């Protein structure tokens, strides 16, 4: 299996098998879509020569199901100033937009002298004995009341969840940057907030990642901090961290999709929606 979500075909990105969703065989998952959009935004920022800026807020709208067909990406510079830059990106298939992203990039400066509250609950990644400190792609680690493991079936429960992941390359032969790694893994906020006793029964409609700094590398963790659900709409948030500490927050809004549940009780499987 090629260890990437896409391969290049000219200016197009062609999905590889790792981009396939657990919801449907002919559908891409959000990690691949978000990673592709983040890569396009980062390339546009580089073309502007704005090495003085860092991505600080990144939002993805997943308004159509992305298929396993080739993708085209377009970008627009919405606003550029001395201390910030706004860039939009769109992912198209067969000429139709299926997802879009917007990013705010800010210029670094110095922190003010005052003291501001921050939480004492510092997330802890798995030990290096459990998750070796390497950039080699691996099956995600999850933590719940069952402890850290890569056995998904142990974490189908109602306890607070956490994940530790090394980013999969977005494009074959390209190592992802820290921003692209975090933008891709942010889609897993749904797994730490919407995964319960009956599996994952909500599907993301959007993802927002806010960061005070890029991660130190491509290994990123998420720990659930909040979850609310009512009338088939769920909102979940997670603290984003690396081995140097917490650096951001990820949120997802999701719609109930219980007729096509991602059931992980015996591994990585899914239940298709019954045909009419």
Distance of CA 178 to the CA centre of its chain: 12
pLDDT at 272 over 70: no
Instruction: Please name the residues in contact with 63: beta carbons below 8 A apart, sequence gap of 6 or more.
Output: 97, 98, 99, 100, 205
More confident residue, 176 or 269: 176
Average pLDDT over residues 94-112: 96
Mean pLDDT score across all residues of the chain: 93
Cα first-last separation, the chain: 34
How confident is the model at residue 121, as a pLDDT? 85
How confident is the model at residue 260, as a pLDDT? 80
Average pLDDT over residues 43-71: 97
Angle at 166 between CA 236 and CA 120, to 5 degrees: 50
How confident is the model at residue 244, as a pLDDT? 96
pLDDT at 274 over 70: no
Stretch among 207-211, 222-226, 255-259 having the lowest mean pLDDT: 255-259
How confident is the model at residue 276, as a pLDDT? 26
Average pLDDT over residues 92-109: 97
CA distance 62 to 98: 7
**Which DSSP helix (H) or strand (E) runs through 241?**
strand 233-242
How confident is the model at residue 261, as a pLDDT? 86
Instruction: Please name the residues in contact with 52: beta carbons below 8 A apart, sequence gap of 6 or more.
Output: 107, 108
The pLDDT tens digits of the residues spanning 127-165 come to 999 999 999 888 999 999 999 999 999 999 999 999 999
Instruction: Please name the residues in contact with 231: beta carbons below 8 A apart, sequence gap of 6 or more.
Output: none
Helix pair angle (178-185, 30-47), 10° resolution: 150
pLDDT at 37 over 90: yes
pLDDT at 241 over 70: yes
Confidence band, pLDDT 50/70/90 cuts, at residue 268: low
How confident is the model at residue 90, as a pLDDT? 98
The pLDDT tens digits of the residues spanning 188-198 come to 999 999 999 99
CB 16 within 8 A of CB 4: yes
How confident is the model at residue 273, as a pLDDT? 37
- What are residue 250's DSSP bridge partners? 209, 238
Q: Is 60 helix (H, G, I), strand (E, B) or coil?
A: strand
Q: Is 200 helix (H, G, I), strand (E, B) or coil?
A: strand
Residue 174 dihedral angles phi and psi, to the nearest 5°: -115, 130
Distance of CA 68 to the CA centre of its chain: 18
pLDDT at 269 over 50: no
Confidence band, pLDDT 50/70/90 cuts, at residue 259: confident
How confident is the model at residue 22, as a pLDDT? 86
CB 90 within 8 A of CB 62: no
Average pLDDT over residues 249-256: 97
């Amino acid at each position: 299996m090629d260890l990437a979500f896409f391969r290049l075909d000219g200016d197009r990105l062609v999905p590889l098998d790792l981009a396939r969703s657990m919801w449907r065989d002919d559908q891409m998952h959000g990690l691949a879509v978000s990673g592709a959009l983040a890569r396009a935004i980062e390339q546009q920022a580089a073309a502007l020569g704005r090495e003085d800026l860092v991505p600080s807020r990144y939002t993805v709208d997943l308004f159509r199901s992305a298929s396993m067909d080739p993708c085209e990406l377009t970008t627009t510079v919405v606003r550029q100033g001395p201390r910030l830059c706004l860039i939009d990106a769109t992912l198209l298939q067969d000429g139709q937009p299926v997802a879009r992203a917007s990013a705010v990039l800010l210029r670094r400066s110095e922190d003010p002298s005052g003291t501001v509250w921050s939480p004492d609950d510092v997330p802890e990644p798995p030990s290096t004995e459990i998750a070796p400190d390497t950039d080699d792609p691996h099956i995600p680690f999850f933590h719940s009341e069952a402890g850290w493991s890569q056995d998904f079936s142990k974490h189908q429960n109602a306890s607070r969840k956490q994940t530790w992941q090394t980013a999969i390359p977005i494009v074959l032969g390209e190592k992802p940057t820290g921003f692209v790694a975090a933008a891709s893994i942010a889609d897993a906020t749904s797994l730490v907030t919407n995964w319960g006793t009956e599996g994952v029964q909500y599907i993301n409609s959007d993802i927002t990642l806010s960061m005070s700094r890029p991660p130190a590398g491509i290994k990123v963790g998420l720990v659930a901090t909040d979850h609310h659900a009512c009338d088939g709409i769920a909102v979940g948030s997670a603290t984003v961290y690396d081995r140097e500490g917490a650096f951001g927050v990820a949120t997802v809004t999701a719609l109930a999709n219980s007729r096509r549940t991602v059931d992980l009780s015996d591994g990585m499987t899914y239940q298709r929606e019954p045909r009419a």
